[in-house]
Amino acid sequence: MSQERYVQQLVARIHSIGQTHESLTVARATSQKESLLLELKKTASMLFGAASSGQDVKELVDKLEAELMMARTLDVVGDKDYKELQDLIITVKES
């Protein structure tokens, strides 16, 4: 599969965070958490745009990974989501 396809899967998964009632409640617990979730989704969208146009995505993947770590630290992203997203990030980096 191409890197663009892996990026597409990663972005779709990130955008699904906060869609479930439980995640939404956690994400909206504080404005800091909400802002972090929005930033994560914004970076994911920028990553998709870069991958779609054939640009190098390494810097954006690194930024997304750092934001994801912060999101996990603040419980914006649960353990299961975090593990799944980390696996997707590794796949994107290796592709």
Q: How many structural domains is the chain composed of?
A: 1
Helix residue ranges per DSSP H, 17-57: 21-27, 31-52
Look at the block and give the residue holding tokens 């353990």: 79
Q: Which range of residues forms the domain containing residue 78? A: 3-94
pTM to 2 decimals?
Answer: 0.78
pLDDT at 18: 62
pLDDT digits (tens), the chain, 95 positions:
688 888 888 888 888 876 654 454 554 556 787 888 888 989 999 999 999 999 999 999 999 999 999 989 988 888 998 999 999 999 999 98
pLDDT at 21: 43
Query: What single letter denotes the amino acid at residue 10?
Result: L
Query: What single letter denotes the amino acid at residue 80?
Result: K
